[in-house]
Amino acid sequence: MTVKPMLGKFMGVSAAAVIALSASTAGACDYVPDRASILIGSKHVGWEGGQLNETNPGAFLTWECGKWSATSGVFKNSYSNTSTALTASYDVLSGDGWAVSAFAGVAHYPGTGRDEVVSIGGSDVIAMGGLQARYKNVFVQAIPGDFETLDGIVAVGMTFGF
Protein backbone atom coordinates (compact mmCIF):
# COMPACT_ATOMS: atom_id res chain seq x y z
CA MET A 1 0.00 0.00 0.00
CA THR A 2 1.41 3.41 -0.93
CA VAL A 3 1.50 6.44 1.32
CA LYS A 4 -1.44 8.20 -0.40
CA PRO A 5 -4.20 5.65 0.36
CA MET A 6 -2.87 5.12 3.89
CA LEU A 7 -2.89 8.87 4.56
CA GLY A 8 -6.44 9.24 3.23
CA LYS A 9 -7.77 6.40 5.39
CA PHE A 10 -5.87 7.56 8.47
CA MET A 11 -7.10 11.15 8.11
CA GLY A 12 -10.70 10.05 7.55
CA VAL A 13 -10.77 7.77 10.60
CA SER A 14 -8.92 10.35 12.73
CA ALA A 15 -11.29 13.15 11.75
CA ALA A 16 -14.37 11.06 12.53
CA ALA A 17 -12.97 9.93 15.89
CA VAL A 18 -11.97 13.41 17.05
CA ILE A 19 -15.28 14.98 16.01
CA ALA A 20 -17.21 12.19 17.76
CA LEU A 21 -15.18 12.62 20.96
CA SER A 22 -15.62 16.38 20.85
CA ALA A 23 -19.37 16.07 20.28
CA SER A 24 -19.67 13.73 23.27
CA THR A 25 -18.38 16.48 25.57
CA ALA A 26 -20.51 19.25 24.01
CA GLY A 27 -23.24 19.03 26.64
CA ALA A 28 -20.85 20.28 29.31
CA CYS A 29 -19.87 23.37 27.28
CA ASP A 30 -21.36 26.78 26.67
CA TYR A 31 -23.07 27.37 23.31
CA VAL A 32 -21.56 30.85 22.96
CA PRO A 33 -18.30 30.94 20.96
CA ASP A 34 -15.15 31.68 22.95
CA ARG A 35 -12.86 32.76 20.14
CA ALA A 36 -12.90 34.22 16.62
CA SER A 37 -10.09 33.57 14.16
CA ILE A 38 -9.08 35.02 10.82
CA LEU A 39 -7.16 32.81 8.42
CA ILE A 40 -4.67 34.84 6.41
CA GLY A 41 -2.74 32.47 4.19
CA SER A 42 -0.87 29.25 3.64
CA LYS A 43 2.28 27.80 2.13
CA HIS A 44 2.12 24.50 0.23
CA VAL A 45 5.52 23.04 1.09
CA GLY A 46 7.07 20.84 -1.60
CA TRP A 47 4.25 21.39 -4.11
CA GLU A 48 5.33 21.48 -7.77
CA GLY A 49 2.02 20.60 -9.41
CA GLY A 50 0.99 24.05 -10.60
CA GLN A 51 -0.35 27.25 -9.15
CA LEU A 52 -2.29 27.08 -5.88
CA ASN A 53 -3.87 29.97 -4.01
CA GLU A 54 -1.87 30.79 -0.89
CA THR A 55 -3.89 33.82 0.16
CA ASN A 56 -6.71 32.13 2.05
CA PRO A 57 -8.89 34.64 3.86
CA GLY A 58 -11.34 33.01 6.20
CA ALA A 59 -13.39 33.52 9.35
CA PHE A 60 -13.89 30.93 12.10
CA LEU A 61 -15.62 30.62 15.47
CA THR A 62 -14.31 28.36 18.22
CA TRP A 63 -16.08 26.87 21.21
CA GLU A 64 -13.71 25.83 24.00
CA CYS A 65 -14.48 23.15 26.57
CA GLY A 66 -11.51 22.43 28.78
CA LYS A 67 -8.75 20.94 26.65
CA TRP A 68 -11.21 20.28 23.78
CA SER A 69 -12.31 22.84 21.19
CA ALA A 70 -14.64 22.77 18.20
CA THR A 71 -14.16 25.24 15.34
CA SER A 72 -16.38 26.04 12.36
CA GLY A 73 -15.88 28.52 9.57
CA VAL A 74 -15.55 29.50 5.94
CA PHE A 75 -12.43 30.25 3.89
CA LYS A 76 -11.03 30.66 0.39
CA ASN A 77 -9.33 27.33 -0.36
CA SER A 78 -6.18 26.50 -2.34
CA TYR A 79 -8.22 26.33 -5.57
CA SER A 80 -9.71 29.82 -4.96
CA ASN A 81 -13.15 28.39 -4.13
CA THR A 82 -15.16 29.02 -0.98
CA SER A 83 -14.97 26.14 1.49
CA THR A 84 -16.49 25.40 4.87
CA ALA A 85 -14.74 23.47 7.63
CA LEU A 86 -15.45 21.84 10.97
CA THR A 87 -12.60 20.75 13.22
CA ALA A 88 -12.05 19.49 16.73
CA SER A 89 -8.83 20.00 18.64
CA TYR A 90 -7.23 18.84 21.85
CA ASP A 91 -4.65 20.91 23.75
CA VAL A 92 -1.58 18.73 24.17
CA LEU A 93 0.38 21.49 25.93
CA SER A 94 -0.84 24.85 27.15
CA GLY A 95 0.06 27.77 29.35
CA ASP A 96 -0.81 31.41 29.91
CA GLY A 97 -1.58 32.78 26.43
CA TRP A 98 -0.31 29.80 24.43
CA ALA A 99 -1.31 26.29 23.40
CA VAL A 100 -0.14 23.45 21.17
CA SER A 101 -2.99 21.28 19.93
CA ALA A 102 -3.68 18.31 17.72
CA PHE A 103 -6.66 18.84 15.42
CA ALA A 104 -8.72 16.88 12.93
CA GLY A 105 -11.82 17.62 10.96
CA VAL A 106 -13.52 17.89 7.62
CA ALA A 107 -13.81 20.56 4.93
CA HIS A 108 -16.06 20.85 1.91
CA TYR A 109 -14.11 21.55 -1.30
CA PRO A 110 -16.89 22.02 -3.87
CA GLY A 111 -16.01 20.52 -7.25
CA THR A 112 -12.43 19.57 -6.29
CA GLY A 113 -12.57 17.55 -3.05
CA ARG A 114 -13.23 14.24 -4.79
CA ASP A 115 -9.84 14.56 -6.53
CA GLU A 116 -7.94 14.80 -3.24
CA VAL A 117 -6.13 11.88 -1.58
CA VAL A 118 -8.02 12.65 1.64
CA SER A 119 -11.48 12.70 0.01
CA ILE A 120 -14.05 10.91 2.14
CA GLY A 121 -15.78 8.26 0.05
CA GLY A 122 -14.99 9.99 -3.24
CA SER A 123 -17.04 13.05 -2.23
CA ASP A 124 -16.09 16.73 -2.15
CA VAL A 125 -15.67 16.43 1.63
CA ILE A 126 -12.05 15.99 2.68
CA ALA A 127 -10.46 14.94 5.94
CA MET A 128 -7.80 17.17 7.43
CA GLY A 129 -5.70 17.30 10.53
CA GLY A 130 -2.36 18.19 12.03
CA LEU A 131 -0.88 20.33 14.74
CA GLN A 132 -1.60 23.93 15.61
CA ALA A 133 0.17 26.37 17.85
CA ARG A 134 -1.25 29.58 19.28
CA TYR A 135 0.69 32.32 21.01
CA LYS A 136 -1.46 35.23 22.19
CA ASN A 137 -3.24 36.39 18.99
CA VAL A 138 -1.24 34.45 16.38
CA PHE A 139 -1.82 30.87 15.26
CA VAL A 140 0.07 28.52 12.95
CA GLN A 141 -1.19 25.18 11.65
CA ALA A 142 0.95 22.39 10.19
CA ILE A 143 -0.98 19.91 8.05
CA PRO A 144 0.99 16.93 6.69
CA GLY A 145 0.78 16.08 3.00
CA ASP A 146 1.16 12.76 1.22
CA PHE A 147 4.95 13.28 0.93
CA GLU A 148 4.79 12.32 -2.74
CA THR A 149 3.16 15.38 -4.31
CA LEU A 150 3.01 17.64 -1.25
CA ASP A 151 5.08 17.66 1.92
CA GLY A 152 2.52 19.66 3.86
CA ILE A 153 0.67 22.91 4.35
CA VAL A 154 1.53 25.65 6.83
CA ALA A 155 -1.35 28.07 7.52
CA VAL A 156 -1.23 31.28 9.57
CA GLY A 157 -3.74 33.66 11.03
CA MET A 158 -4.92 35.78 13.93
CA THR A 159 -7.21 34.76 16.76
CA PHE A 160 -9.09 36.78 19.38
CA GLY A 161 -10.82 35.62 22.56
CA PHE A 162 -14.20 37.05 23.55
118 forms beta bridges with none
Portion of the chain with pLDDT greater than 90, in percent: 72
pLDDT at 31: 85
pTM of the model: 0.82
Residue 125 sits in a domain of what CATH number?
2.40.160
**Structure confidence by residue, pLDDT tens digits, 78-133:** 999 999 999 999 999 999 999 999 999 999 999 999 988 888 999 999 999 999 99
Buried b (16+ CB within 10 A) or exposed e, 8-24: beebbebbeebbeebee
Q: How many domains does the chain have?
A: 1
**Structure confidence by residue, pLDDT tens digits, 45-68:** 999 888 899 999 999 999 999 999
Domain range spanning residue 45?
A: 3-161
